[in-house]
Structure 1
Amino acid sequence: MRRDYLRPTLLTFASIAIGVVGWSGYVTLLPVALAFPVLWSIARTRLIAALVSAGYFLAASRGLPQGVAAFYSSDIWPGLLLWLCASLSFVMVHAVLWSKNAGGRPLRYLLAAVIMAIPPFGVTGWAHPITAAGVLFPGWGWWGLGLTTAGLAGLVTRIWPAVAIALTGFWLWYAAIWTDPKLPEGWHGVDLELGVSLGRDTGLQRQRDMIATVLRAAGDGARFVVLPESALGFWTPTVERLWTGALADGDATVIAGAAMIDPRGYDNVVVAIDRKGARILYRERMPVPGSMWQPWRFLVGESGGARADFFANPVVPIGAGRAAPLICYEQLIVWPVLQSMLHDPGFIIAVGNGWWTDGTSIVAIQRTTATAWAKLFAKPLVIAFNT
């Protein structure tokens, strides 16, 4: 009887360890997450497969309860509830598709991986092992993605030790020569430490401080200066005139986050401003479910919440090239970046406002995933975060 409980317990604790280490915020540790499908495949019952899936996902997203408590200025319980609810889709998909038939597991696991990468389940498809492709095969692009996918299928077969050895070889080789993605020429990303006030302090002095930050970066030679998500607060004609006037005597272009509000809700956007004027460069495809995107409001006839544009504007023209913008939550899931890469952008812009993640690894994980995708497709990367 004791042995009957020992194996499931060890598998569950191993999956927790994999989630913690693989999603610790260090990019070269991402391939540790590839051990999850191995544990999933050697589970002997559907219940054990569910426990393994829950342990991995909950450990990988362990910063959520504390982050939600900070976001809503509440105790830990709402965060714990959201944490558990968010794990349900991941656990359900992997439990339902688990099979005793070893021959069918590769196809079933690949199906689970695809389901968790695209909407609707992909909306909460965090901690996806496929993200490790950027560490295993940097610069290989779609070929690297395909090889990693094949590796995931191989890890749920009886020959998984051989597959694991091969993938570990690529991991160690590229980790030994690892370099971060380069910055596009003439670009500068500005990290801020303004905490909760960013986006909420709408005073004139805050806008002037932002303008001064941009002008300093431009004075150092930057032609494009990127500010974090929500840096401009509410986007209004007054704010537009202020910024356009401030940039009238220079050649700098500002790329910054803002919110556009109307009676039905709001759009989380990235704005491009130069001496000629301003335009909405990008509308967020996938805002944070729950805190920002609240689709149930529409069902009950209420307004409010951020709109999700899902598959809109995967790439945007900026300067002489095209960029793939990713705002905050979009860096944690799979389909926005892959949709953008289908259009072969010149570089990636990753912005976020992570003040509510203080004391967690969430921002580090966002930076890690953006870096991994940029390395996989050999794209320059610009990052701007507020903490």
Structure 2
Amino acid sequence: MLIALAIAIGGVGWSGFVLALPIAMLFPVLWAMSPSRLVAAMVSEGYFLAASRGLPEGVANFYAADLWPGLLLWLAASASFVIVHAALWTGRPGKAQSEGGRAARYLAATMLMALPPFGITGWAHPITAAGVLFPGWRWWGLIAAAAGLAMMTSRSWPAAAVALTGFWFWSAALWTTPTLPEGWKGVDLEQGQKLGRDASLEHHRDLIATVLSAAGDSTRFIVLPESALGFWTPTVERLWREALRDRNLTIIAGAAVLDGDGYDNVLVAISSQAAEILYRERMPVPGSMWQPWRAWTGDAGGAKAHLFSNPVSGADGKRIAPPICYEQLIVWPTLQSTLHSPDLIVAVGNGWWTSGTSIVAIQQASTIAWAKLFGLPLVSAFNR
């Protein structure tokens, strides 16, 4: 029953509907109720696999393969979550002091899954629901959510659940989507796997035409999805700067910068006057993009992980929190950015490989939750 409930909680809480995120906060109750370490591990496995259920099909789409590689990667990705929660599980205490110890153990698991190295695959983190329960509370909301998760492991969990449900209903009744900054616009694309792989002039000219048609009189910044510009070269830079001549318009778009050891997944800012790299991705997708074992074996290739570097970027005097794609599924990149007091969140992704899954919807729900928690405007752009 506990395993079945964990699967249901993971599936519904991480359905891609932002207001459903607080359902994930029931997971600690099931973890605490587990009668043994093995059951706690199976509860954790069921929750994680249900929450990340789109991964096998997404991997199959990405590699144009059958489901087996995706299923193996799905199980491997759950290892950190399961190991951490199984290792820190403890049996039902008989004393208040021991009960406090169990809450502390769960908070330790929460922290471990929010930070590297375990947090590199720290998807489906229940703390993400803080933005739904406590919008605008900023760090106090994060602390309140962590306290709520800890209380859900105690004998007082029904009272904690009632209190959290009250905050949930109040937030849902007054819910509004994050604001869009004045003068900013995100442009979604539907170019499938062609985006970032077609380096032809015709492709870039079509993309430029799309951007210029989307720009209104008051638009000063347009955001394009991850990989929109493909490989960032002097030729691409000249083409775009020439197209923006005599326009008070800046394009922020995803691209890839090659070097001898691999490549950086980046955001670039282009105007008629200049072009610069705004951000280098801290955590590319492990396995398909970030392949650290290549360096260990002396092979070049793969995307570089900049981990704790460049948490914010600057554009027109504004500080931007810039999570790219995979970074929206985990906790620490956005939280690290918010430590630097950004003025807005700019979230981009290239989700063509997620067709038929809820992965992009989950990314967007997570980003919306963080934007609401810290009261930040949000601009997003995705390719499907």
Corresponding residue number in structure 1 for 2:29? 38
**1:139-178 alignment to 2 at 5 Å?**
139-178=136-175
Of 335, 355, 359, the match for 2:352? 355
Taking the aligned partners of 1:177 and 1:101, their CA distance within structure 2 comes to 38
CA distance in 2, matches of 1:246, 1:221: 18
Partner SS, residue 322 of structure 2: strand
| Matched residue, 2:312 | 315
Distance 2:225 2:83 in 1: 35
State which of 369, 380, 383 in structure 1 corresponds to 2:380: 383
2:245 corresponds to 1:248: yes
Deviation per CA, 1:345-387, whole angstroms, max 9, x where unpaired? 0000000000000000000000000000000000000000000
Aligned length: 378
CA drift at 1:217: 2.3
The alpha-carbon deviation at position 221 of structure 1 amounts to 2.7
In the TM superposition, what is the alpha-carbon distance from 1:176 to its structure 2 partner? 1.2
CA distance in 2, matches of 1:228, 1:331: 14
Give the AA of the match of 1:53: S
Q: Which amino acid in structure 2 is aligned with residue 88 of structure 1?
A: A
Match of 1:211 among 199, 208, 221: 208
Q: Deviations over 1:208-242 (max 9, x none)?
A: 11111221222443110000000000000000000
SS at match of 1:270: strand
**What is the letter of the counterpart of residue 271 of structure 1?**
V
TM-score scaled to structure 1, two decimals? 0.97
**Structure 2 unaligned residues grouped into runs of 5+:** 94-98
Give 3-state SS (helix, strand or coil) of 1:254's partner: strand
Seq. identity, %:
67
For 2:376 and 2:216, the matched residues in 1 are separated by: 26
Q: Does 1:29 align with 2:11?
A: no
Provide the C-alpha distance between the structure 1 equivalents of 2:264 and 2:250, rounded to a whole number of angstroms: 22
1:342 match: 339
Amino acid at match of 2:18: V
Query: Following the alignment from structure 1 to structure 2, what is the Cα–Cα distance between the partners of residues 120 and 219?
Result: 44
Which residue number in structure 2 is paired with residue 331 of structure 1? 328
What CA deviation, in whole Å up to 9, does each residue of 1:146-165 have, x standing for no partner?
00000011000110110110
The question of 1:126 aligning with 2:144 is answered: no
8 Å Cα contact 2:187/2:225 also seen in 1: yes
Q: 1:270 aligns with which of 246, 267, 272?
A: 267
Match of 1:179 in 2: 176
Extract unaligned runs of 5+ from structure 1.
1-9
Q: Is the 8 A contact 2:32 2:92 kept in 1?
A: no
Q: Describe the superposition over 1:252-290 as per-residue Cα deviations: whole angstroms up to 9, x where unpaired.
A: 000000001112100000000001110000000000000
| Pairing partner for 2:83 from 92, 95, 109 | 92
1:67 to 58, 63, 66: 58
TM-superposed CA distance for 1:248, in Å, is 1.3
Other structure's SS at 1:116 match:
helix
TM-score, structure 2 length as denominator?
0.98
Match of 2:193 among 196, 199, 208: 196
1:76 CA drift (Å):
0.4
Give the superposition deviation at 1:293: 0.1
Secondary structure, aligned partner of 2:323: strand
CA distance in 2, matches of 1:78, 1:225: 37
Whether 2:47 is the aligned partner of 1:56: answer yes
User: Which whole-Å deviations, capped at 9, do the CAs of 1:286-322 have from their partners, x for residues lacking one?
Assistant: 0000000000011111110000000011111111211
Counterparts of 1:232-311 in structure 2, within 5 Å, are: 232-311=229-308
Q: CA deviation at 1:101?
A: 5.0
Secondary structure of 2:114's match?
coil
Match of 1:228 among 222, 225, 228: 225
Letter in 2 for 1:175: A
Letter in 2 for 1:13: A
- Following superposition, which runs of at least 4 residues in structure 1 exceed 2 angstroms of deviation? 217-221
Q: C-alpha separation between the residues in 2 aligned to 1:121 and 1:272?
A: 32
Check the 8 A contact 2:38/2:86 in 1, yes or no. Answer: yes
Give the counterpart of 2:68 among 49, 74, 77: 77
User: How far, CA to CA, are the matches of 2:9 and 2:173 in structure 1?
Assistant: 21
The alignment status of 1:18 with 2:35, answered yes or no, reads no
SS class of match (2:256): strand
For residues 249 and 369 of structure 2, the distance between their equivalents in structure 1, rounded to whole angstroms, comes to 29
